[in-house]
Amino acid sequence: MATSLIPLSSSFLQPLKFKTLAKPRTPPNLSTTRKIITTCDSQNKNTGTSSNPSSRNPNFQKRRKSSKYGTSRRSILKKSFLQEQVTFTARVSEDPQVAIIGGGMAGLVCALNLEARGVKSTVFDTGIHGLGGRLGTRFVEPQGLVFDHAAQFFTADDSRFIQYVDGWLEKGLVREWKGAVGELEVGGSFTQFPSSSPPKYIAVNGMRSLADSLLLESRLANVVRPCWISKLEPLNGMWHLSENGTPRGQFDVIVIAHNGKCANRLLSASGLPLVAKQMKKLDLSSIWALLAAFNDPLPTVNFEGAFVKGIESLSWMGNNSAKLGNGGTPHCWTFFSTAAYGKQNKVPQENIPTVTSEKVKAGMLQGVEIALGLPEGSLPKPVYTRLQLWGAALPKNTPAVPCIFDPQGRAGICGDWLLGSNLESAAISGEALGNHIADYLQNSEADPEEFAIGLHDRPSPLAGHDIGQFPGLTSVGEKQEAEAYQLL
């Protein structure tokens, strides 16, 4: 899910003008990358007259406001769509290296599949406490509180993903969640998913533990964290990565395994316009997560996890203590809002105003009361709360391709959003791109264009729960309707 963003200048942006700079000659045998550098000027420097309308007309009113997120979406779009394509012409290294930017499920599985094909990789991730992306778990000490604050559980429907899950089960990394999970109607009416539903899986020590375990035995995949790759620069046949001016290595191929504004900014001046354009087509929801610990059990609760129906401020409530088998007190709950509620109350996630925080927290706790059918004000007061906005929570559309790869720029994208909105889609996408890159690197005589994939596919709307898709898991209401139809 989303991570914090690097703040950029929010000063007023003048109308942009673009010019192309001539590329200086390079010595023979050194030029292995073709790129036209596009720059922008915020003022006309060719004349002594300012291009700022306010200097010519004192009554001019500035209408374009700088973005509250620290940068202008218009400027990012212009940079992305007007940049020239990078084309690598040199052969790849004899011992190629792949950079994977993003350590969620897709990026990690991509690294695993590259290793299986004998290709080295480095995974760069911004996580301070661990890997995982949406496989996030928060540990609160010294109280010993544990919250899964992103992905709550997952199902497996595709045979390729089932193979991964079977391996994780054998290693003791995941187990089946046997607790009562179902749907909760307003007033406290809970209906458990039937026993015929597919198994629901969780990581044994919180979801993040699964991500942290995937590359522990790897020989060819390195992990660098916390690291925020802020620049991609093609030079002499290689991609040069840096973090706020600090070099982070040279690589033959790069993989973008995250999304949202962070990825858009990274790609906006990378020389990968086709890749950047596909990323910008992604539409993401915003969801509030409220972590709350209670000394006493919540009244009337007879479940461990529930999709909440009919309440805008609440779409999911899950008892982490019961799910993870921690027992005792406090009782640690994760509450998620609906996407609609997230959109209505969206603010910069790296700087949430106190008034918004208090409003959302009160609204979500009130939603818990209503969902459980409790009298107003009777919900026990939590002894611990933490509110988080997932500003780029889950995809709302998908191009329905397993991965994206630009062979000219030697860059690809993997992620759940390319196929769906779930852990299974993320793993399948990472596997597809890892194998695709290995094929590309190991078939140097083939036409590079044969390896182009997903660069022009158009996205279509994506259905699912507010907190994602769960392959094979059918809504209780939908299942009852289907059974009634079969009886006709």
What tens digit of pLDDT does each residue of 210-242 get?
999 999 999 999 999 999 999 999 999 999 999
What does the pLDDT read at residue 346?
Answer: 94
- From 128, 132, 373, 109, select the one nearest 255 (Cα to Cα): 109
239 and 253 Cβ atoms separated by less than 8 Å: yes
For residue 106, the domain's CATH number is 3.50.50.60
Residue 123 lies in a domain: yes
Residue 192 lies in a domain: yes
Residue 342 lies in a domain: yes
What does the pLDDT read at residue 326?
Answer: 82
Show which of 395, 427, 446 is a domain's final residue. 395
94 and 119 together in one domain:
yes
- SS3 category, 8: coil
158 and 425 Cβ atoms separated by less than 8 Å: no
117 and 158 together in one domain:
no
432 and 300 together in one domain:
no
Residue 321 lies in a domain: yes
| pLDDT at residue 161 is higher than 50 | yes
What tens digit of pLDDT does each residue of 128-145 get?
999 999 999 999 999 999
What tens digit of pLDDT does each residue of 426-443 get?
999 999 999 999 999 999
What does the pLDDT read at residue 82?
Answer: 67
What does the pLDDT read at residue 108?
Answer: 98
Show which of 343, 361, 395 is a domain's final residue. 395
| pLDDT at residue 166 is higher than 50 | yes
| Overall domain count for the chain | 2
Show which of 395, 412, 443 is a domain's final residue. 395
Residue 32 lies in a domain: no
Residue 18 lies in a domain: no
391 and 317 together in one domain:
yes
Tell me the HSE value of 236 on the side-chain side, using a 13 A CA sphere: 7
Q: Taking the model in full, what pTM does it have?
A: 0.82
For residue 172, the domain's CATH number is 3.90.660.10
Q: What is the DSSP string of 83-131?
A: SPPPEE-SPPPSS-EEEEE--BHHHHHHHHHHHHTT-EEEEE---SS-S
354 and 437 together in one domain:
no
What tens digit of pLDDT does each residue of 255-289 get?
999 998 889 999 998 999 999 999 999 999 999 99
Task: Note the Cα 5 to chain centre separation in Å.
Answer: 13
110 and 248 together in one domain:
yes
Strand 253-256 to strand 97-101: parallel, antiparallel, or no bridges (unpaired)? parallel
Task: Note the Cα 233 to chain centre separation in Å.
Answer: 23
CA 155, CA 47: separation in Å to the nearest integer?
A: 64
Identify whether 380 is preceded by a cis peptide bond (ω within 30 of 0).
Answer: no
296 and 339 together in one domain:
yes
382 and 236 together in one domain:
no
What does the pLDDT read at residue 15?
Answer: 34
Identify whether 142 is preceded by a cis peptide bond (ω within 30 of 0).
Answer: yes
φ and ψ at residue 276, rounded to 5 degrees: -60, -40
Instruction: Specify which residues 331 forms β-bridges with.
Output: 294
Residue 319 lies in a domain: yes
What does the pLDDT read at residue 444?
Answer: 84
> Which secondary-structure segment (H or E) carries 275?
helix 273-280
> Cβ–Cβ contacts within 10 Å for residue 58, how many?
6
Find the mean pLDDT for residues 80-101: 88
What tens digit of pLDDT does each residue of 45-77 get?
333 333 343 433 434 333 334 333 333 334 344
Residue 49 lies in a domain: no
What does the pLDDT read at residue 349?
Answer: 87
| pLDDT at residue 334 is higher than 90 | yes
222 and 121 together in one domain:
yes
What does the pLDDT read at residue 465?
Answer: 92
What tens digit of pLDDT does each residue of 12-52 get?
233 333 333 333 333 333 334 443 332 233 333 333 333 34
Residue 451 DSSP symbol: G
Mean pLDDT of the chain: 84
384 and 448 together in one domain:
no
What tens digit of pLDDT does each residue of 381-401 get?
999 999 999 999 999 999 999
| pLDDT at residue 10 is higher than 50 | no
147 and 129 Cβ atoms separated by less than 8 Å: no
- Domain assignment of residue 104, given as a range: 84-131+215-283+397-457
268 and 382 together in one domain:
no
With bands split at pLDDT 50, 70 and 90, how would you rate the model's confidence at 480? low
- SS3 category, 387: strand
297 and 437 together in one domain:
no
